[in-house]
């Protein structure tokens, strides 16, 4: 088992009540489990954003190193990728 570290988190009363309610109805065993799940999802979202950023940077680097590529096509492709990533990110937030 991984070494555990205790931290203190301050949050609005309403948010704390929702955490306790999730435990009270049996959705989670402890409030810590709720927080751990939220942090896992947060980290997954960060990793997706980082991967999208890396993909974007690679596209820019490839475009700069390669033959001439019409700017309107480059920007259209980048807009499409950004829109797709934004949709994935929004879906992960709900």
Band of residue 93 on the pLDDT scale cut at 50, 70, 90: low
13-45 pLDDT, tens digit per residue, is 999 999 999 999 999 999 999 999 999 999 999
| pTM summary value | 0.62
* Cβ atoms of residues 63 and 51 within 8 Å: no
Domain boundaries, the chain: 13-93
* Cβ atoms of residues 93 and 42 within 8 Å: no
Share of the chain above pLDDT 90, in %: 68
């Amino acid at each position: 088992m991984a070494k555990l570290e205790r931290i203190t988190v301050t949050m609005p009363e309403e948010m704390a009540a929702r955490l306790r309610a999730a435990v009270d109805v049996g959705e989670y065993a402890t409030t810590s489990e709720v927080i751990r799940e939220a942090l896992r999802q947060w980290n997954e979202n960060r990793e997706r954003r980082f991967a999208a950023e890396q993909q974007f940077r690679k596209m820019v680097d490839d475009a700069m190193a390669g033959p001439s590529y019409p700017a309107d096509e480059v920007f259209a492709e980048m807009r499409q990728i950004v829109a797709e990533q934004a949709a994935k990110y929004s879906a992960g937030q709900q």
